[in-house]
Amino acid sequence: MLTFYNELHGQHRGRFEMFRGAMVPCFETPERADMVVAELGRRNLGRIVTPHGVPLTSLERIHTPRYLHFLRHAWHDWLALDPDNAGKDALPSVWPVRTLRSDIEPDNFTAKLGLYSMDNGTPLTAGTWTAAKTGADCAVNAAHALRLGERATFALTRPPGHHAGSDFFGGYCFLNNAALAAQHLLDDGARKVAILDIDYHHGNGTQSIFYTRDDVLFASVHADPRSEYPFYLGHADETGSGAGLGYNVNLPLPAGTSAASWFAALETACLRIAMYAPDALVVSLGVDTFAGDPLSHFCLQSGDYLRVGERLAHLNLPTAFILEGGYAVKEIGINVVNVLEGFETAE
């Protein structure tokens, strides 16, 4: 397993987020990635390397130039409002919902922040762009290594990415790493790519990016959005549109779903991927399906993640794993590396 590690991920360290009506310390912390890289080193599961930087044009294959310009300059613009903002994270407070216009970018920074966001639980910090961009580098490098002959790669990075759309951030995500990896594989010669999202929360950003396309199959096993974030996307009747009709597979499950039921849904997703016969697989690897996760309500135990890796290995596809969620910090390293080890040792 070749791992591309974002050594700059710690530059994104949010102070607080809005959670259920209260300001609380951020659940998405640098310690998450620190625990994973430590566990990788302990098990000696392959090389850990630094990614090569990729040009902004690579990001523009997924994200709009207007949005990327905002992210690159957001902290400077935040400080321009008030130098004292250096000690505060930027959180949005207004959004252009329903009949309000989003085609015109406001001059007001607070309005811009709302234009490009989907929630007020995703703080933008001084190091957000650096951490997110280097994470995107990891994802694109992980995809490229597959085309160079690697059987499997891992983009070890944070902040995560699967909630980020082409022109908005949210759910702790700023750049959609899984989408960038899939697009690079296509640009590098793959005919078809599958993305499997096994995070507890639906990858709404990834779905929206590929919803009208047939060159990427998106399959997701996640919590029912009627009760869990992102709430407004992820239902089973969302199957794609236009050329993409039939290439979006959502498998929402209720809170409290057992490991047996979760694995049955995973099997459905894997069979659909096998029928699609892609040239490569990108896995949005969230381990907030863990029974001890503070934000989630599924019942997987650490040992179950070995089985996850084994099942994915049996798809027999070049596979890029991209780190997404998982907020039980003490166990995240074990759970993530169990998936990778299960994949590597599958018979």
Q: Which amino acid is at 342?
A: G
Burial, 121: exposed, middle or buried (Cβ in 10 Å; 0-12, 13-18, 19+)? buried
Q: Report angle CA 27, 31, 37 to the nearest 5 degrees.
A: 135
Is 12 marked active-site?
Answer: no
How far is residue 263 from each of residues 41, 227, 311, 324, 340, measured CA to CA in Å? 28, 21, 10, 19, 17
- Report the C-alpha gap between 183 and 178 in whole angstroms: 9
Task: Please state the φ and ψ torsions of residue 249, each to the nearest 5 degrees.
Answer: -125, 110
Residue 40 in tokens: 């990788």
SS3 85: helix
Place of tokens 């957000």: 128
Strands 216-223 and 248-253, bridge-based pairing:
parallel
Half-sphere exposure of 328 (CA within 13 A, CB side): 22
- Among 9, 63, 163, 202, the active-site one is 163
Task: Render the burial of 5-22: b for 16+ CB within 10 Å, e for the rest.
Answer: bbebbbbbbbeebbeeee
Please name which of 198, 180, 175 lies closest in space to residue 308, comparing C-alpha atoms.
Answer: 198
- Report the C-alpha gap between 100 and 230 in whole angstroms: 21
**Catalytically active residues, by annotation:** 163
